[in-house]
Structure 1
């Protein structure tokens, strides 16, 4: 698909999501997608190989949670090739972003993407979630694990007033009772990703202050 068609698709999707992106963000998002496509030939970073599907399933799917992102620091756990962390960093620059994955090939790609796209304040680390230090205002996780496992492994990373954004497909009703003590579900949002028929949900969690 020609680049102009992908740009039109992305711009329409961003408008449908009601987002206002910084100058140059659309081009940087497309540059990220193109870099992912090039590396994918050798490293198998994503099963989604059609460029238009990558715009929908990777870029717009990631951007759909942007209105819920908050704070000065963000950790994207199990980020894979940088989803949703890199699109969020491009769309809302200025916060410190840590991309975490245990797969060395994916982290090598992440570091090249950070360099090539000149993503200031973004770092990639090869690590298990259990070994990541610090605390973060916002934590994102996309199709990473059950809510119970996510919080068991990484709950300590959430700052006291922080927000945990867990991206899911179907509404994870059966997972909600498994949220461990000390955490609470703040909201569950159905997300409408432009061009995507599949269901998407966002579970917003925080520390239980009761």
Structure 2
């Protein structure tokens, strides 16, 4: 496969029904270029080929944006700048991609690994993403104002993901877990405090693999902790 370029970015966006400016395409490609450079020294991802990185990481995260855009008004009504937390963000996936494509969001990436946090900070500065922040911390110890959406792509089981982040979820907020196959066992073991809200199949253009989004909500009267 040829290395991704601006035309590839526009093709992926068109396949997903996403608006994409040339500037946004260049930011996505800039993220990929920095990931290639850092990966040579810091092993941020096991994927080495640029075309595979583009498809399995960037386009994979792009594919969730249409569903996210449709859902946001249902739990962010009256909010001008929804707050999103990307837990265990790693190489900024999906946090960086969503910050590029949805500039109306305030995105915070959190990770416990210093080199990953340093990478996301470098990306944020290089791509001039004023709506992207990063935290070097354990999420269960993070104390900040509540987030409207808390997401993860490769962080933990659904039970741990929701349990460790409950104190950060806004009263009407949602969790969104990006998964491969529908995590039947994880859903069966979920229990308190989260309740399954919706499992949404996800098609990633050019990727022949199962993907889904698991939407969760909190049905307990627990009040999230503000910072």
TM-score, normalization: structure 2? 0.87
Cα distance, 1:165–1:80 mapped onto 2, change above 3 Å: same
Q: How does 1:2-17 map to 2 (within 5 A)?
A: 5-17=4-16
The CA distance in 2 between the partners of 1:118 and 1:202, in whole Å, is 29
Match of 2:99 among 89, 92, 97: 89
| 3-state DSSP of counterpart to 1:144 | coil
Gaps of 5+ in 2: 77-81, 222-227
Pair 1:45 & 2:44 matched: yes
How far is the alpha carbon of 1:23 from its aligned partner? Answer: 4.9
User: Over aligned residues, Cα RMSD in angstroms?
Assistant: 1.7
Gaps of 5+ in 1: none
How far is the alpha carbon of 1:132 from its aligned partner? Answer: 1.3
How far is the alpha carbon of 1:11 from its aligned partner? Answer: 1.9
The CA distance in 2 between the partners of 1:164 and 1:187, in whole Å, is 11
The CA distance in 1 between the partners of 2:90 and 2:98, in whole Å, is 14
Match of 1:34 in 2: 33
The 8 Å contact of residues 44 and 91 in structure 2, kept in 1 or not, is answered as yes
The CA distance in 1 between the partners of 2:189 and 2:166, in whole Å, is 13
Superposed CA offset, 1:34-77 (max 9, x none): 01111111111111111111111111111111123334100000
Q: How many correspondences in the alignment?
A: 209
The 8 Å contact of residues 199 and 215 in structure 2, kept in 1 or not, is answered as yes
The CA distance in 2 between the partners of 1:133 and 1:121, in whole Å, is 19
Match of 1:154 in 2: 165
Comparing 70-79 with 18-27, which one deviates more in the overlay? Answer: 18-27
The CA distance in 2 between the partners of 1:180 and 1:24, in whole Å, is 43
The CA distance in 1 between the partners of 2:213 and 2:150, in whole Å, is 12
Runs of 4+ in 1 over 3 A off after TM superposition: none
Pair 1:20 & 2:31 matched: no
The CA distance in 2 between the partners of 1:144 and 1:169, in whole Å, is 13
Q: How does 1:107-122 map to 2 (within 5 A)?
A: 107-122=117-132
